Amino acid sequence: MDSLEPQFDILIVGAGLAGLFCALECKRQGFSPIILELRKDLEQPVGDFITIGPTACRAFSKWPTLYEAFRKAAYDTSIYYHKQNGEIGAGPRKVSESFGWMVLRPDLHKALMDTVLAYGIEVRYRQHVVEFLEKDDKAGVKLADGEVLHADIVIAADGIRSRSWTIVGGVEPRTYSSGSAIFRCAYSTSLAMEIPSIRTNWNLQEKGETLHIFLGPVSHGVMLVGKEKICWAWMHRDDGTTSQESWSAKISNSTTRQQLDADGEWSPEFLSVVDKTPANSIIHWKLVWRDMQQTWTSPGGRVVQIGDAAHAFLPSSGNGGTQALEDAVSLACCLRIAIDRQGSAGIPTATRIHNTLRLERVSFIQQVGFKRRHAYYNIDWEAVKKDPSIVAMEPQKWLYEHDPEKYARERFEECRDCLETGKVFVNTNKPEHYTFTPWTVADLEAGKI
């Protein structure tokens, strides 16, 4: 980095959910972020549905227009748990507020982008970041065309393929195949309602919006019936020939059906929804594990990772989006506190405190996702009849009652003192019984954690 004069306060790399909401939270805290996005535009975001937990929903409420758009788009669902053949084993059960809300990823992305633009936050497209930089008290990025942009801080919100690891940790996160993949798709509900059994059994006027989980011995399917879109997914064993961690990894309808048929007797309604899927619409998403990253900040503390760049979750974990949004709130708050007290010199303190406040909570949730990956398999349906909570897996209070901004404000000084003196900082945003230990995927597979 030749020039040390910052051009912007904050650069955020990536205009996904984490990057967009981080920009909003930075704006709310009084900063002037600029977002750098690789794609040429964000007119047609892709994806199916995502679950947003109560902690993130409350954070949205501080942005009234965003919150209104989110709640309008969110599904108001009842859940049914089915045996693989379609027989109902439990439900309907109204989704509780402790669970959060399901929403189509494109709808949420649009609501965030509309809010970003409404508040005058600049988004620069076709910005291919190839290198993250740090020197003395400045940070920056190098673009593919050779241009270098400088700032007081760079926030890497560019997901699992972020190049920020070159300066954060210095070692590319190791990946492991989980042995599983997901077929996933969303298409018009009106098309699905052409199926007689869907129109009769899951009529929206009578049943409302519904979520169906079909549980097999070694795989499970999901079908979300909403007013505008129907989403379906099937988590299955993977041979690795066609799946990728990419929204562009498509698979044909016929191949999808062949694999489903080879896996046992599935619900006729679930199969009919799969068969009705428009051609070239099914994504084959590879489920990949990554070792935990204990450090999310660069040596100088001016490059920091959030969301999947810092802590990737499997889509089946159901919590990755929420934790990315919590990151945005926590980091922006820590930056505000530190800069108010130390000016730009406080940025490294802010990023390290944010890392410390968030690490143990996120690490535990990652572990839960790993350990639950087969929780739906080999269900004892007789036990479920007596206790439906066996399949419900309701979240605990420590997870859904957390307020990342309040936590940052209340624990900032104590955490800073511990970091400066070497004392042990005790987080309280996690289960009381949990003692953090660094882990690898191999440790989890071996049952060591």
- Active-site residue numbers? 184
Radius of gyration of the chain (CA): 22
Rounded distance between C-alpha atoms, residue 37 and residue 52, angstroms: 23
- Is 163:171 a contact under the CB 8 Å cutoff? no
Q: Minimal CA–CA distance to 374: which of 177, 235, 256? A: 235
Q: Minimal CA–CA distance to 212: which of 233, 243, 235? A: 233
For 356, residues 6+ apart whose C-beta sits below 8 A from its C-beta are 415, 418, 419, 425, 427
Q: Minimal CA–CA distance to 210: which of 223, 195, 229? A: 223
Dihedral angle over CA of 52, 403, 335, 121, nearest 10: 40
Strand partners, 95: none
Q: Minimal CA–CA distance to 154: which of 27, 29, 10, 28? A: 10
Q: Please provide the DSSP assignment of 45-72 as one string.
A: ----EEEE-HHHHHHHTTSHHHHHHHHH
And the tokens for 309?
């760049």
Rounded distance between C-alpha atoms, residue 421 and residue 21, angstroms: 33
SS3 state of residue 435: coil
Packing angle of the helix pair 268-275, 253-261 (nearest 10 deg): 160
Rounded distance between C-alpha atoms, residue 10 and residue 139, angstroms: 9
Residue 96 DSSP label = P
SS3 state of residue 170: coil
And the tokens for 197?
């059994």
And the tokens for 373?
């990956």
Rounded distance between C-alpha atoms, residue 18 and residue 306, angstroms: 7
Rounded distance between C-alpha atoms, residue 186 and residue 231, angstroms: 4
